[in-house]
Amino acid sequence: MINWNQIETVLLDMDGTLLDLHFDNYFWLTHLPMRYADAKGISLEESERFLGERIESYRGTLQWYCLDHWSELVEMDIPLLKREILHKIQIRPYAEEFLKTLRHIGKKVVLITNSHPKGLQLKLDVTEIDRWLDLVISSHEFSLPKEDIAFWHKLQEKEHFDPNTTLFIDDTPNILRSAKTFGIQHLVCITQPDSQRRGIASGEFIDITHFDEIMPPTHVQP
């Protein structure tokens, strides 16, 4: 599916791509509503409705990903609450092998995530996936989410990558569309980002469930 001899740079999303999205879905849809209901003395249904409305209203914006924003909104320490379920932070199948192989064959490997720096550091501390990465970039550095075409221009200004020889892997079709509009030629969509939910193919990009489907051969030349 991918001619690895044509790829120089691999851009990788984190949540739902390298890491199981179950942690994030469980936190925002189950753990936080329970903790917020307890803290505010309201029913779980009221908590779910309050949080659900605000999650939807900010979807696709940088605020949607900003832990400081959510901490202020709910008047609770979101990073601290995330630490209560650290055991749910898991690397997706074949992700470590994929990263090791990319390093072995000399590709530049860059993590680009919408994750807030505090949440990003928490996950790096747990998984140590950054040991196989050349660079880690949070979109908060540019004050733009990956959904925004301007993010990609800022990224290229910083990294000077060639869109024609770049592979980008993400689990969100809307973000992949933004990358496609920018001009990135090689795009892969993770179809089952949450191990506890059914996978859904994008039908637009190279759809894979796990990295073993596109694992590069170790004899590929840098």
Supply the pTM of this predicted model.
0.94
96 shares a domain with 81: no
Mean pLDDT of the chain: 95
* Contact (CB, 8 A) for 7 and 165: yes
Q: Which CATH number is 158's domain given?
A: 3.40.50.1000
All residues at 6 or more sequence positions from 163 whose CB lies less than 8 Å from its CB, including other chains: 156, 182, 183, 184, 185
pLDDT attached to residue 1? 84
- Total length of the chain: 222
Mean pLDDT along residues 104-122? 96
Structural domain contains residue 99: yes
Report the candidate in 6, 10, 17 with the shortest Cα–Cα distance to residue 110.
10
154 shares a domain with 72: no
Structural domain contains residue 42: yes
210 shares a domain with 193: yes
- 113 HSE (CA, 13 A, CB side): 24
Could you list the residue range(s) of the whole structural domain that residue 60 is in? 23-87
Indicate whether 222 pLDDT > 60. Answer: no
User: Mind listing the pLDDT tens digit for each residue in 45-100?
Assistant: 999 999 999 988 888 788 888 999 999 999 999 999 999 999 999 999 999 999 99
Structural domain contains residue 222: no
Which residue do the tokens 């001009």 mark? Answer: 183
pLDDT attached to residue 59? 83
Domain boundary pick from 87, 114, 141: 87
Mean pLDDT along residues 159-169? 97
Domain boundary pick from 65, 87, 109: 87
Q: How confident is the model at residue 219 (pLDDT cuts 50, 70, 90)?
A: low
- 83 HSE (CA, 13 A, CB side): 8
Q: Which of 61-70, 107-116, 146-155 is predicted least confidently?
A: 61-70
pLDDT attached to residue 108? 97
Indicate whether 191 pLDDT > 60. Answer: yes
Structural domain contains residue 219: no
Report the candidate in 8, 20, 10, 28 with the shortest Cα–Cα distance to residue 171.
20
* Greatest extent of the chain over all pairs of C-alpha atoms, in Å: 60
